């Protein structure tokens, strides 16, 4: 009995990706939506993760030789992106430092003004 269940599972193996590919292609053609939106809708409908649907679609698309946009490379572009993020972070820190300096100056001025007011109060209190 367990042997029949195993055979049924093996017979089903590999069919999900093909089904997903066909469903995505149908959604894109019928509803004039992009693949990303089709992945989202199919994932919601089937209870799968959007990334799982996309991975299955692209695996079958590559097997069938479907023309796809080239994959994005993560190597050097990531380093450039990291550099720009660091530059923005340093600029933000410099802005914060400038704000603190202005606040310190204002606090110093307020302390001097407070001392003058205290002196005036002492003079009035005499």
Q: pLDDT, tens digit, for every residue of 3-26?
A: 554 444 444 677 899 999 999 999
Instruction: Characterise 14 by phi-psi region: left (phi > 0), alpha (psi -120 to 50), beta (else).
Output: left
Distance CA 62, CA 70 (A): 11
pTM value > 0.95: no
Would you state the structure tokens that stand for residue 74, as one six-digit string?
């993560």
Give the end-to-end CA distance of the chain in Å, rounded to a whole number: 107
The answer, yes or no, to whether residue 76 has pLDDT greater than 90, is no
The domain limits of the chain are 13-64, 72-126
Identify whether the C-beta of residue 28 lies closer than 8 Å to the C-beta of residue 38. yes
The residues, ordered by sequence, that sit 6+ positions from 21 with a Cβ below 8 Å of its Cβ are 56, 57, 60, 61, 64
């Amino acid at each position: 009995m367990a042997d029949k269940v195993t055979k049924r599972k093996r017979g089903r193996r590999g069919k999900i990706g093909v089904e997903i590919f066909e469903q995505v292609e149908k959604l894109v053609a019928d509803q004039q939506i992009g693949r990303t939106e089709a992945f989202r809708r199919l994932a919601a409908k089937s209870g799968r993760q959007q990334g799982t649907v996309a991975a299955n679609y692209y695996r079958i698309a590559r097997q069938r030789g479907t023309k796809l946009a080239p994959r994005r490379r993560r190597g050097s572009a990531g380093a450039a992106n990291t550099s720009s993020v660091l530059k923005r972070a340093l600029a933000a820190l410099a802005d914060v430092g400038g704000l603190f300096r202005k606040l310190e100056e204002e606090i110093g001025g307020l302390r001097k003004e407070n001392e003058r007011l205290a002196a005036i109060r002492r003079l009035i209190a005499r």
